[in-house]
Chains A and B, each alone.
Chain A
């Protein structure tokens, strides 16, 4: 690592200008809990870090009838300490609450977790099952990208040179909606998911059938995976052990894990099946209140 500049622009425009000028040699800084470790590990050769925490749009946290907006620099603790988010978006809180320990959560941002694009990113799968959108600003204007399309490889995103993730929009959950996220780690805290699953369900008025379902899988592929086949398999199906087990098996087949220091293919596949079942049931429970 060598000395680099710290820049804290006050506007999105300023940030974009700096990022565009430096290209690969500048990175946006939200909480910095990944970036600083990576910089010290020489993953990046940086001329500048661009702190987004002085940009108002990147620090907004707003819940209304239109949904939830999370600025890209908002730290995890603000999300899980927010009464309205806790009651209306518990699946998002599930993810925010388990990223690192308390010190990390005081800095680390959901937006940063998304841009870091780790296959194991604990914030990402919950956003996918909530149908969230990434709001991107760039030199050639603004664009919105579905969170499930945001990560394109380990550490790689759709962001082009000069582009900045400003915020994330989560739609207001419809009635009959419930969501949950859980990861498996061999320890109880402070670890990276060996495998993880987020599930959201929207139940019909009777509360006995799935209207729609979204299932997302972490740490079992090069990016967090939106498991469309498993999700679609439950559409319109009655809630019972069989439909849930079938979906879990399909989710297992949609995962494509590797064996590495954190787990084996065999173990990860089994975990996906087990956690998918557990999370469908938990989401149903939450949907029914």
Chain B
């Protein structure tokens, strides 16, 4: 049953901006990250990786490496436990452990450049890395497929021979097509015949990486009783435990995952990469084993979000009603099935109310790293296509693109492209706030000589997920409360979760002391991802706090010698009305005062509580961005000169971190729009696998990103919180593209829209 809430308009803690609980340790460099882990007897692991994107492994010769002094163990795929062939739910996406095992340590073939083929453990990092280069692997190189068109060619080399593809329910073999799905509502073909204006285009894009600063790392110790301890940088300690349980064929209770502080993830630190390898090297040596990736390996073997192709065709009647939309979405899954085609279908039409819709999605295996979630996985790509098409349709018909979006906006009960109907959403409020924003009401200003300016807008949507979270609270003698949770803190979630407990308890946010703990020390909690943490773990904290009040009332009742049902609690004060009959006076006591008494008096022992939730959704999130660009006509360089992100955030618990999420998402989206891409060699393999050549924007490449927080609280959450972290990466691609169109009169339908492409287009 879904609980619904009515919301207060005034809060004491919610909406304020306290200093984050983890801030001091982080700015002083004292916070413990995975790279800081040191254990007695620690040794290092390193991987031998494939230089080829697609090849048969003919032989692996480890003899030379074994002879190197300091080498303690070598493993290959033969040492990986036999795994089950089944799909396992990992929170934000599921995976088949058999394929995952093959992805982490190649069996008969290598499927992407950098694919591990062997691992070495040695007394130090340098010997391990050196020995890894001395493992001789003989390959038979096969044709590599870098993109969906190449992989779907009739004569294409088959990448995963064991793959059974699913083409609209029909099983297919000898194919690189993992899945083809279709969603259809209304009468699309008829609607197109009724449309006065039709816009159709194909949009292409390359893989891009999350680009977190901290590389993947893992430290593992496998003891004599087959208990495995893991210290790692992960977005989900429990998800890592589930994945490891499947890969290592151990019960979950034998694995303890300690999530260290995390230097960014954006979805890319949900899968495990080094953890199972370090564990198996530890098993073989009896020593704790540490592994860390180089940046090259991070780019070449972890993370990216799919590149691919999106074809969109939309039609409107002569009054400006969007009556029909059709799309085909091809995504690169990488070496295993599982690109983000489902979310893409869920998101593509979400900002609009369209009666006739069709979507075909294709999940395509290519010789690239297996994709991982990246901030609203699948949504930015389709928003780029849809929002470009909508602007071009408006231009064709002479309609204002903002008014068109308003008159066709989705609302409560609008059906999404995948059939799901919305609860209360803020699409219209976001458009209205955009229209009223300072940015929208200011001139673009004159361009410098030789340059031109343009302005663009775009919608973005992410559904946000709910899932499971647990929180434990303990009352301390000094009136503070420890909050035990299992959500890795990436973007200030210790603060946003603590604040929700503090609001209930009537105490300052600083008096809640949050700890993110290992998998043995708190109840199951899903990943920090899907924009769910402040929503779901915050919900659990709210529930735990309410349960704590119930407990505290019992103690207050004992202390006042009254019935606990008569104890009231408001604004941090417990009170009880006078009991005239029994000659008992009115009494009251603050949370802190009663906390101080509990240890001293016979009041029932330590006070603690639990919150545990399993939630459907974190409230649909909509955003709209405005981008102003200036293009140098001689060099093709684009500068984003002004940028505003407007978003329905439900309720901003800690507005600074909400604004930070919106600015961060916009920054990543701007990078994706203008310069970021996996630049591939013909024979497969990424060549720009360094921060130098991957060209993410630096602080000097971005204007101050203005934010407008719209608050349409979702009735699904006690405070109306909506997930906020993912929406803001969805609009920038088309917002920048539409601004370029405004500036140059040219539609760029291939990402990134970099200077070379701009110069080429201007020249033509």
CB-based contact B674/A186 at 8 Å: yes
A189 with B698: in contact, given A2-B126, A261-B687, A267-B759 (CB under 8 Å)?
Answer: yes
Contacting pair A3 B700 (CB below 8 A): no
**Given the complex of chains A and B, what is the CA–CA distance between A261 and B754 in angstroms?**
11
Residues A184 and B637 in contact, CB atoms below 8 Å apart: yes
Q: Is A240 an interface residue when CB atoms closer than 8 A count as contact? A: no
Question: Could you say which of A261, A266, A270 contacts B679, with CB atoms under 8 Å apart?
Answer: A261
Closest to B133 in A: A42
Whether a CB of chain B sits under 8 angstroms from the CB of A191 is yes
B272-309 vs A, CB cutoff 8 Å, 1 = contact: the mask equals 00000000000000000000001010000000000000
Residues of chain A with a CB closer than 8 A to B759's CB:
266-267, 270
Distance between B631 CB and nearest chain A CB, rounded to angstroms = 12
B296 neighbours in A (Cβ, 8 Å): 41
Contact status B756-A274, CB under 8 Å: no
Binds A, one of B106-114, B168-176, B185-193, B688-696: B688-696
In the complex, how many residues of chain A place their beta carbon closer than 8 angstroms to a beta carbon of chain B? Answer: 26
Chain B, interface residues (CB within 8 Å), range? 20 to 34
B130 within 8 A of A: yes
| Shortest Cβ gap from B285 to chain A (Å) | 21
A40 to B130, CA, bound (A): 11
With a CB–CB cut-off of 8 A, which chain B residues contact A40? Answer: 294
Interface residue? B571 (CB, 8 A): no
Q: Chain A residues near B141: list those with CB within 8 A.
A: none
Q: Could you tell me the dominant secondary structure of chain A's interface residues?
A: loop
CB distance from B293 to the nearest CB of A (A): 13
- For the complex formed, measure the closest distance between the CB of A197 and the CB atoms of chain B, giving whole angstroms: 12
Assess whether A160 is interfacial by the CB under 8 Å rule. Answer: no
Q: Mark A21-38, 1 if CB is under 8 A from B, else 0.
A: 000000000000000000
Interface presence of A171 (CB below 8 A)? no
Please tell me if the beta carbons of A271 and B635 are within 8 angstroms of each other in the complex: yes
CA distance A260 to B688 in the complex (A): 10
Q: Which of B674, B693, B756 lies in contact with A266, CB distance below 8 A?
A: B756
Q: Please name all residues of chain A whose beta carbon is closer than 8 Å to the beta carbon of B130 when the two chains form the complex.
A: 1-2
Q: Is B93 an interface residue (CB 8 A)?
A: no
In the bound complex, residues from chain A placing their C-beta under 8 Å from that of B566 are none
| A264 and B755 alpha carbons, distance in the complex (Å) | 10
Q: Which residue of B lies closest to A3 (CB)?
A: B126
Known: A1-B126, A1-B129, A271-B635. A264 touches B697 (CB 8 A): no
Q: Is A187 an interface residue (CB 8 A)?
A: yes
Residues of A within 8 A of B637 (CB): 184, 186
B601 within 8 A of A: no
Distance in angstroms from B426 CB to nearest chain A CB is 34
- In the complex, A186→B756 CA distance in Å? 9
Decide: A264 and B756 in contact? CB cutoff 8 A. yes
Contact B636 A187 (CB under 8 A): no
For residue A263, CB closer than 8 A to chain B, the reply is yes
Please pick, from A184, A187, A261, the residue contacting B688 in the complex, using a CB distance under 8 A.
A261
Docked pose: A58 CA to B688 CA in angstroms:
34
Taken residue by residue from 246 to 274, chain A's Cβ proximity to chain B (1 for < 8 Å, 0 otherwise) reads as 00000000000000111110110011001
Q: In whole angstroms, what is the CA distance A188 to B637 when docked?
A: 10
Contact assessment for A187 and B695 in the assembled complex, using a CB-CB cutoff below 8 Å: yes
- Taken together as a complex, chains A and B put the C-alpha atoms of A14 and B756 apart, in Å, by 49
State which of A189, A192, A267 has its C-beta within 8 Å of the C-beta of B755.
Answer: A267
Within 8 A of A (CB), among B373-428: none
27 sampled A-B residue pairs with Cβ under 8 A: A1-B129, A2-B126, A2-B127, A41-B296, A42-B133, A184-B635, A186-B695, A186-B754, A187-B698, A188-B639, A188-B700, A189-B700, A189-B701, A191-B692, A261-B693, A262-B693, A263-B755, A263-B756, A266-B760, A266-B763, A267-B636, A267-B755, A267-B756, A267-B760, A270-B763, A274-B635, A275-B635
Closest 5 CB pairs of A and B: A267-B756, A261-B679, A188-B700, A261-B688, A274-B634
